[in-house]
Structure 1
């Protein structure tokens, strides 16, 4: 049995988009008007008339680009058949939504636009951003002009989730996703592919803040463009800040769990104070591994400083165009940067790295991160984060040591995942025991495996061995399955280091308490102790012989 993949949500106090992603909008859809459309005119009419709770479903086929709507709220736009998504083809843009609230776009294709593929913005009214936007299972491809044209343009969006999208061949001077003055967002489980040009993959700028870039795959041309860039160059009139902030291109940008293939520089910091890049795998790095730049010289914008590059795997070839680890521009503060525990490997010779500051515990010439295909296991004190950033296939099973001790964490509303924190989970989470010692993830997915005592989000009810906040027969099943296990197994209720009869007693007594609680109408059947004693005796004999 394989482990179960789960999508992740990063920011606490996530708006309705989070529950939509996790519940697939079922409660909304149950009350919604279904607006079925099969032509340009029908879609135009439905888009203009849609009200909160409506779901617009497009029949398979090709629709023209250039549709727009201001003030759309509480609406989902999707395809009738996700296996045959509707295609918005051509136009200067495919779809533009301004001042949108609680909108979901899913299972759609945008292609061949002459400008941006998809625009979500605030309509120029900076005080009223678009909010609670969910984009998932979208394809945006083959923009028809070079220059600064983006696959997905976010201008003044606060609260967004971008999940499992494919963006390829956007404008040669643009970005796959370009958040300008956008905040509190997650970009995850997605594929960004661009063959040539000085483009960028994801580039939050213009006052953007609190954006997590998690578990994506970037495929850039060899020595072409910047894959992940925190900050940029924005005209003064386009900055949009939150929290009373000012004077930076970007703040609180985190990129983790990504695979980057190619690029002139996989990682860049531009006019940002901070920016954390950790647990990414960088392959075939181009001329530089990173760039530290100031693209706002002479303006009242923070000089680039305090960036963090830790716990990454970095592969490069000094005989194939790689020049050095860091390209440092003028009017920056590279001596404020932190480098630690990165694993560097040079395919072209000796691994010699020169960084702006001394790296702490760097590893040179070796890689020691478990990987099967594109499925990577990142290990932490609290457990494991398994990421499959493959574009189209599941990988072979990956072994997970210590499986009797691990829980699969699934996010709920307001869930927050911070891999670098001692307690990585806050908000609402649910948990199930990992069934065996192997996991196989589907493409573009993730799994969080946590030890039982590492997070306050994990229920700590005596006898609740599967940590679902209920003492029931499933806890007995788990106790029976783990009977005799040593170490820190989930069913070790008294912390003695072994699952034994004492742990059964804890479960039995707590079950009796639960059965007496008001409102509990279930009949609880306690297994016969004679069979348990027999099992205990067999295990005891085995343990004595093992010594």
Structure 2
């Protein structure tokens, strides 16, 4: 499945205008690679282009720095086609639709930009009718006029990820999946002032446009999820419209203008009901309201759970009243978002788009769009920090990111720009490298105390068009004892100095267990007395070079054994 330069199974055809591109697509066989030279291309319409699961037909820009630019009433149209990858085109200035796919399946759109729809009443930068198994990776939509950035009508099994939507002051929708669309995911996207309703579930559709044959269910949208997205401004961050079982979770929402969420009914047969709003991080100021509830909806049936709220204009009133009681809300303290919208305040780090638990939560949904997900993993960088790790006084740990991978694209494999470690999760990186050794003392200087922590790994890759990064977390446990039983002075060596500590406290009782500090006085076996059993623990780990194990006198060892037996009898 890897898309590496020269790895195609078929012919390579180079084209420089729309007629030549059309001819190449009409005659393409599975595995063929069509390479587009830089320049201006007129409106393209093609149908019945078919690759296979083993060999997609690839349509790629020859020079990513100078992509082909399509324009016209519609820019790039593909109908009734399958197993096609399009990488690196720009569509601009179309008066009807930008990128338009109809009744097609198993399509990858990557690094595709669609922008600047001049004044059309209902023009979409990306329009999909009756499609299934679609991946949009690292695409961009901007200034889509009166339509939507992404408009899905009767589609299923779709993933949009790493994609940016921007329409400052626009009065339309960012993402709109309707017409019975289902099994759809919107993951790790950036919606920057992306219209009136940035992320919408559902909409309003005529009966004839339920292309999946599910009109009788009565929903515009169901079984959809939005996670890991950063949504700034827009009139409202999310709108639930004639939908059910749609989940908006682990997203970061910053400064919407009117509402945070809207619950509406505009199509379908049933009241909007039983959707979810959970684990989001919301930063907001003055609004028209937190929730806009329309008629014929059932907002009390929604699940509202564990969101973090911060109202910068009145922090004491951060946590709002919702249509039903929220389960375990949090907030009221500035999350201190950095330039990437990651919270630096400890109490907010488990919420929103960059929460460590977000990716595991999203994996529960990938079976809905497995084909698209599998292809996305080819392109994606992956931060794999290893672990779990444990270290104590005198020790060190080797943090190992060797399982991380940079991904690949249409022009070859990528390599990492950097692998950076944030050991105390303060937003500053403390070390860099695929494997690094960190002494215990350095971790304590960073302020880490005994107990469990998360270390963060940031993996950064620059592809042909921009820079992508991924975050991963590993558990790091700081223990208040050395790594080896018998190391009384925490120098990571069990030797005669540690024997001296044991002998000085021999047969003393009342000492804490080894793991609680008793190691410093010779209590190596986690009971409360220093005796011959502790000597045995010390001797098993004795390891200095060219030295014999010191041996207590026979009488001392005999007394130690008798003492241990008496203690055990006394306890029974």
- TM category, shorter: 0.5 to 0.7
Which residue of the partner structure matches residue 529 of structure 1?
Answer: none
- Call closer, same or farther: CA 1:163–1:381 in 2, change over 3 Å: closer
Report whether the alignment pairs 1:252 with 2:226: no
1:411-430 deviation line (CA, Å, top 9, x unaligned): 99xxxxxxxxxxxxxxxxxx
SS of 2:106's equivalent?
Answer: strand
Is the Cα contact below 8 Å between 2:312 and 2:334 reproduced in 1?
no
Is the Cα contact below 8 Å between 1:92 and 1:114 reproduced in 2?
yes
Which residue of the partner structure matches residue 472 of structure 2?
Answer: 449
SS of 1:43's equivalent?
Answer: helix
Unaligned runs of 5+ in 2: 343-352, 363-382, 390-397, 408-432, 437-454, 485-491, 494-539, 546-572
Residue number among 347, 360, 368 corresponding to 2:312 in the alignment: 347
Which residue of the partner structure matches residue 202 of structure 1?
Answer: 175
- Call closer, same or farther: CA 1:435–1:327 in 2, change over 3 Å: farther
1:43-92 deviation line (CA, Å, top 9, x unaligned): 23212222222111111111112433334434111111122111112x11
Which residue of the partner structure matches residue 519 of structure 2?
Answer: none
Q: In 2, Cα distance between the equivalents of 1:536 and 1:150?
A: 72
Report whether the alignment pairs 1:30 with 2:8: yes
Which residue of the partner structure matches residue 119 of structure 1?
Answer: 100
- Call closer, same or farther: CA 1:208–1:99 in 2, change over 3 Å: same
Q: TM-score, normalised by structure 1?
A: 0.65
SS of 1:275's equivalent?
Answer: strand
Which residue of the partner structure matches residue 366 of structure 1?
Answer: 333
Deviation of residue 325 (structure 1)? 1.0
Q: In 1, Cα distance between the equivalents of 2:541 and 2:16?
A: 67
Residue number among 276, 279, 282 corresponding to 1:308 in the alignment: 276
- Counterparts of 1:154-193 in structure 2, within 5 Å, are 154-172=128-146, 174-193=147-166
Q: In 1, Cα distance between the equivalents of 2:400 and 2:119?
A: 50
Q: In 2, Cα distance between the equivalents of 1:327 and 1:279?
A: 21
Report whether the alignment pairs 1:331 with 2:296: yes
- Counterparts of 1:285-300 in structure 2, within 5 Å, are 285-296=256-267
Is the Cα contact below 8 Å between 1:383 and 1:451 reproduced in 2?
no
Q: Which has the higher contact order (CA 8 A, sep 6+)?
A: 1
Q: Alignment length, in residue pairs?
A: 397
Q: Which sits farther off after the overlay, 261-270 or 350-359?
A: 350-359
Report whether the alignment pairs 1:317 with 2:319: no
- Call closer, same or farther: CA 1:382–1:331 in 2, change over 3 Å: closer
SS of 2:244's equivalent?
Answer: coil
Q: In 2, Cα distance between the equivalents of 1:381 and 1:59?
A: 40
Unaligned runs of 5+ in 1: 1-18, 123-129, 386-396, 413-432, 453-481, 493-499, 502-532, 539-547
Which residue of the partner structure matches residue 189 of structure 2?
Answer: 216
Which residue of the partner structure matches residue 392 of structure 1?
Answer: none
- Counterparts of 1:40-439 in structure 2, within 5 Å, are 40-73=18-51, 74-89=56-71, 91-122=72-103, 130-172=104-146, 174-220=147-193, 224-241=195-212, 246-296=217-267, 301-318=269-286, 322-349=287-314, 350-351=317-318, 353-368=320-335, 371=338, 373-374=340-341, 377-380=354-357, 435=435, 438-439=457-458
Deviation of residue 145 (structure 1)? 2.7
Is the Cα contact below 8 Å between 2:75 and 2:94 reproduced in 1?
yes
Over the residues paired in the alignment, what is the CA RMSD in angstroms? 3.7
1:78-121 deviation line (CA, Å, top 9, x unaligned): 111122111112x1111111111101000111111111101111
Is the Cα contact below 8 Å between 2:273 and 2:301 reproduced in 1?
yes
SS of 1:114's equivalent?
Answer: coil
Is the Cα contact below 8 Å between 2:110 and 2:137 reproduced in 1?
yes
